[in-house]
Amino acid sequence: MIVSVIGLGYIGLPTAAVLASRQVEVIGVDVSQHAVDTINKGEIHIIEPELDVLVRAAVQTGHLRATTTPEPADAFMVAVPTPFKGDHEPDLSYIESAAKAIAPLLERGNLVILESTSPVGATEKMMQWMQEVRPDLTFPTFGFDDSADISVAHCPERVLPGHIVRELVDNDRIIGGVTTKCAEQARELYKIFVKGDCLVTDCRTAELSKLVENSFRDVNIAFANELSLISDKLGINVWELIRLSNRHPRVKILQPGPGVGGHCIAVDPWFIVDSAPEQSRLIHTARLVNDSIPSFILDKIRQAAENKDKEIADLTIACLGLAFKPDIDDLRESPALNIAQQVGLMGFGRLMVVEPNICKLPSGFDAATVNLVELDAAMEKADVVVLLVDHSPFKAMDLGLLSGKQVVDTRGIWAGAKCEVD
Ligand code: SAJ
């Protein structure tokens, strides 16, 4: 069996490598020549624990190879980005390109699976795009178990960045077919590497289930973030508040932070809001609450700077962390990056950025006043320290280094937000 994985990013590459580790012949396809060349050398272009070993083995044994041009296969798995555009409307253009790129290669009996997180209806839309290119082939009709030449399903990825390799194998999977036959065919493929249950449903339910999972988390994080705003107003330490409240047997409040980042939780709820705006009031409000947090943190930073008896231009500030969550290099939709960039415009004499998982500052910073530095250097010079990401080295840091500095701890890993550590 030959499987082609379209899109070799955070989901496609681990999926391709895990399948290859089960002796399946995998052809990975990506538009980035750099990604393709890196993978063909047995290396990886992203940071994800355990992935390097898996990819190296898959390439060395000849089970995985990458290319920029799609090739025929028995099954195609599409794992491309689904960002939003305009006023938070889903942008399906990457799925459209993928569908049109594989359509000319399709043969009777092929299976096409959409893994990308998508709004309800996207799997059928992808099918339509393929049908337009291939009127000679028959495609299934939603809910009708007629026999079509091509099977189409939606199997949303649900792995947690930082734990992708383990979760790809262990998590249960939702397998949504355009028809039951499509779902069964897709299930056979996932059973090759998934140890969790493969739960069969229709493609529309599968689409919404993925969006709902991420919206559930977004709403719960918004609750924690709202507690942080309330506690700030009432002069209460939110970290202690949550720690104590969570001692109730049925309460499990998540952690506040500098906002919600990543390409999933901050994006997917909008797909629900876009398709049912009147009905998704809570989901919509949660998004607004989470998106408002960076400006609250910027106010805290301004206050911290004012507490120092110096002009802002004479102060050095350190921002610790740019990634959207701990111990990864992923800066997509990162509130930490957004906040650090805004701090760069506040007029501090110098901004020192510490991000142990990258080696070059991304764009959006003024090279004259901003540097990417090691933690020790930042701690030596900074008057104000802003902790934006709970990376392991920051958690392990000697708290004595914060002595005499103004500290804004957005993750609660030190003494709590807005404290002067003396
Ligand atoms: N966050 C908080 N407080 C918390 C937990 C998270 O502020 O208590 C923030 C994080 O700092 C980060 C953001 O939320 O900025 C998202 O992080 P995350 O770890 O909750 O989730 P992701 O985006 O890395 O992965 C999510 C996962 N979905 C769920 O847990 C329901 C993952 O399983 C999905 O596969 C992934 O989205 C995806 O690709 O959709």
CA 403 from centroid of its chain's CA atoms: 35
Query: Please, which residues have CB within 8 angstroms of residue 295's CB and are 6 or more apart in sequence?
Result: none
Nearest to 348 by CA among 373, 318, 392: 318
State residue 234's pLDDT score.
98
Q: Give the residue whose CA is nearest to atom 40 of ligand 1.
A: 264
State residue 389's pLDDT score.
98
This prediction's pTM: 0.94
What's the CA-to-centroid distance between 217 and ligand 1, angstroms? Answer: 7
- Rounded to whole angstroms, the Cα distance separating 388 from 412 reads 10
Say if residues 2 and 23 touch (Cβ distance below 8 Å).
no
Q: At what angle do helices 268-275 and 203-234 cross, to 10 degrees?
A: 110
Please state the atom number of ligand 1 nearest to the C-alpha of residue 255. Answer: 8
**What is the number of residues in the chain?**
422
**Three-state SS string across 34-64, please?**
HHHHHHHCCCCCCCCCCHHHHHHHHHHCCCE
Helix (H) or strand (E) segment spanning residue 112 = strand 111-114
Please state the atom number of ligand 1 nearest to the C-alpha of residue 411. Answer: 7
Q: Is 61 exposed, middle or buried (0-12, 13-18, 19+ CB in 10 A)?
A: exposed
What's the CA-to-centroid distance between 15 and ligand 1, angstroms? Answer: 19
Say if residues 393 and 387 touch (Cβ distance below 8 Å).
no
- Phi and psi angles of residue 138, each rounded to the nearest 5 degrees, phi first: -100, 140
- Rounded to whole angstroms, the Cα distance separating 258 from 412 reads 11
C-beta neighbour count of 249 within 10 angstroms: 6
What's the CA-to-centroid distance between 117 and ligand 1, angstroms? Answer: 14
Q: Which residue is it, tokens 């299934």? A: 140
- pLDDT per residue, tens digit, the chain (422 aa), is 999 999 999 999 999 999 999 999 999 999 999 999 999 999 999 888 899 999 999 999 999 999 999 999 999 999 999 999 998 999 999 999 999 999 999 999 999 999 999 999 999 999 999 999 999 999 999 988 778 999 999 999 999 988 999 999 999 999 999 999 999 999 999 999 999 999 999 999 999 999 999 999 999 999 999 999 999 999 999 999 999 999 999 999 999 999 999 989 999 999 999 999 999 999 999 999 999 999 999 999 999 999 998 999 999 999 999 999 998 888 989 999 999 999 999 999 999 999 999 999 999 999 999 999 999 999 999 999 999 999 999 999 999 999 999 999 999 998 543 444 43
Please state the atom number of ligand 1 nearest to the C-alpha of residue 159. Answer: 35
What's the CA-to-centroid distance between 233 and ligand 1, angstroms? Answer: 27
State residue 328's pLDDT score.
87
Q: Which residue is it, tokens 């262990």? A: 170
Q: What are 320's strand-pairing partners?
A: 354, 387
State residue 415's pLDDT score.
59
Q: Which residues line ligand 1 (CB under 6 A)?
A: 117, 157-161, 213-214, 217, 221, 224, 254-255, 257, 260-262, 264-265, 324-325
Q: Give the residue whose CA is nearest to atom 37 of ligand 1.
A: 264
